[in-house]
Amino acid sequence: MYRVMIIDDERALRSLLKKTIDWEELSLEVVGEAASGIEAINIIDEIRPDIVFVDIRMPFMDGIEFSKLAIQRYPKLKIIVLTAFDDFTYARECIGIGVADYLLKPIVRTDIQQSLKKILAQLEQEKGQDKNEDTEDGKDLRMKSIKEYIEGHFDDPELNLKSVADNFGFNSSYFSRKFKEEIGRSFIDYLTSYRMEKACRYASRGELMYITAKLVGIPDPNYFGKCFKKYYDVSYSDFMKGERSAKKTTVSD
């Protein structure tokens, strides 16, 4: 079973794609989705997809930027661009980056199926070539410097498990496992909670959500909002309101 991730800013499209393709028949599984390139970069290490569907026109980080970064970090990743823009410049750019296929909206099932079959054949072929890559490094993580690195780069939207692992010369799955062993939390949990704590400070300073989002390295305010709510169990705006009234009460006290 190969793993599929869908990145599109429209929930309807993501749902449609999940629903309309018979994934099992192709021995595929949709394991995750993201509403923006930013969100995708953050969660891609957890989802570990083999195939990614990505839209081009998305805010904060468009499909092309994402593809560039993703292919650079995950060279084996198969990216299918799915866009409503029948635009030659886009298509050329995508092919130049090394995108696996370029499909047009509105979606046509047979086109997607054909494309997937072709990509599956490629994946099968590549599978045999690099089997021994999954070997463990056996090195210990110098957690202090890794934490420092994360604290120094948390506002970089492109920061993720893979980029940190690469930076310190680790295999990403080894790094992931080791990180969890050491800290007791997954890398993404750690990074997000660090960012949310920072965000909390900005919120209490009265920063608008989209600005805070940018400042903490999640420039997609929608994803940021989602993370914030998940972390604090309260929306950013409500949190700010609470902060303000709390301040007022402290002032009046």
Partner 1 sequence: MKKMAKIKTWFISKKLKQKIRYLFAFIIVAYFLIFALIYEFVIKDSLQENISKSNYNTLISIGNGLTGEFQNIGTMGRLIMSSQEVIDYLKSDQGADSVSAYNAVTSIYYTATSFDNISSIYVFKDNGEYIKISNGITTVYKGVMEDPDWYGPVEKKSGANLVMVDGNGAFSQASGESVLSFVRVFNDIQTQKPIGKLVINCSLNMLRDTWREMAGDGKKFAYFHKKDQLLCGDAEFEEMELNVADSGDNPRNMRSGAGSFTYYYAIPGTPLAVAEHEQIRYTEYISTQILVIAMLIVLVTAASFFTISWFINRFITRPVESLVGSMEEVKSGWLKRVSMKLPDDEIGRLKNSYNDMLVEINSLIEELLEKEKTMQKAELEALQEQIKPHFLYNTLDTIAYLALENPREEVYDSIETLGNFYRKFLSKGSREISLRDEVEIVRDYLKLQKLRYEDIFEDEYDIQESLLDMKIPKLILQPLVENSLYHGIRPKGEKCLIRISAYEKDDEILIKVYDTGIGMAQSRIDAFMKGDSKSYGLRKTIERIRCYYGREDVYEIRSQEGYYCEVTIKIPSGGEAETYVQSHDHR
CB of 84 to partner 1, least distance (A): 3
Q: Which residues bind partner 1 (CB under 8 A)?
A: 9-13, 15-16, 19-20, 57, 59-60, 83-86, 104-107, 208-211, 213, 220-222, 224-225, 236-237
Tell me how far CA of residue 52 lies from CA of 8, 40, 70, 186, in angstroms. 10, 10, 10, 22
Tokens encoding 84 = 């409503």
CB of 20 to partner 1, least distance (A): 7
Long-range CB contacts (< 8 A, 24+ apart) of 203-211?
Answer: 203/236, 203/239, 203/240, 203/243, 204/240, 204/243, 204/247, 206/240, 206/243, 206/244, 209/236, 209/237, 209/240
Q: Check if the beta carbon of residue 61 is closer than 8 Å to that of residue 41.
A: yes
CB of 168 to partner 1, least distance (A): 32
Q: Between residues 210 and 231, which has the closer beta carbon with respect to partner 1?
A: 210
Q: Between residues 162 and 195, which has the closer beta carbon with respect to partner 1?
A: 195
Q: Between residues 107 and 123, which has the closer beta carbon with respect to partner 1?
A: 107
Q: How many CA atoms lie within 13 A of 192 on its CB side?
A: 20
CB of 157 to partner 1, least distance (A): 14
* 6 phi, psi to nearest 5 deg: -115, 125
Q: Between residues 16 and 123, which has the closer beta carbon with respect to partner 1?
A: 16
Q: Check if the beta carbon of residue 120 is closer than 8 Å to that of residue 180.
A: no
Note the helical H segments in the chain.
Answer: 11-20, 37-47, 63-73, 88-97, 109-129, 143-153, 161-168, 172-183, 187-204, 209-215, 221-232, 236-252
Q: Between residues 74 and 239, which has the closer beta carbon with respect to partner 1?
A: 239
CB of 196 to partner 1, least distance (A): 15
Q: Between residues 104 and 183, which has the closer beta carbon with respect to partner 1?
A: 104
Q: Between residues 3 and 105, which has the closer beta carbon with respect to partner 1?
A: 105
CB of 251 to partner 1, least distance (A): 24
CB of 205 to partner 1, least distance (A): 13
Q: How many CA atoms lie within 13 A of 183 on its CB side?
A: 21
